[in-house]
Structure 1
Amino acid sequence: MFGEKKEKRFVRTVHEIADKGSVGGIFVYADTETGVQYIHIVGDGRGGLTVLVDREGKPLLREDLIKKPSEP
């Protein structure tokens, strides 16, 4: 229970700084269980998080990052 090291569920795949001297940036995270990608925008004490979607409104996936369940 305690002391067990769990693998991270979300991994950051993109990190872009907004402007030189700015504290803001754009981050893209992928869920390693579902492959769904999220964009997180931060700046000037504000921020937002939303799912990334394709033209049809379906979530963008990173299937290469989906971890297979370990077998017993």
Structure 2
Amino acid sequence: MKKSDRFRKIFSQGVMDIFEIWVDQETGVNYLYHASGYAGGLTVMLGRDGKPVITPVQQEE
């Protein structure tokens, strides 16, 4: 896997106030990215149990 292929954007909403969900293709962990104006931040998405949200990923052979 190339380094540029590690993260995949699966959701995007907004133009000036942006919300995106990114999935790590190696671990399946979901991240929420939010940007507004000149500020932005990235955080792990957590489920009700406090554990990271995991999306099953297909392993390349």
Shorter-chain TM-score: what band? 0.7 to 0.9
1:31 aligns with 2:24: yes
Corresponding position of 2:9: 12
Partner of 2:58: 67
TM-score of the superposed pair, with normalisation by structure 1: 0.74
Aligned residue pairs: how many?
Answer: 60
- Percent identity reads 30
Greater C-alpha Rg: 1
- Which has the larger share of strand? 2
Q: CA deviation at 1:69?
A: 4.4
Over 6 Å off, 4+ runs: none
Q: Structure 2: which amino acid aligns with 1:57? A: G
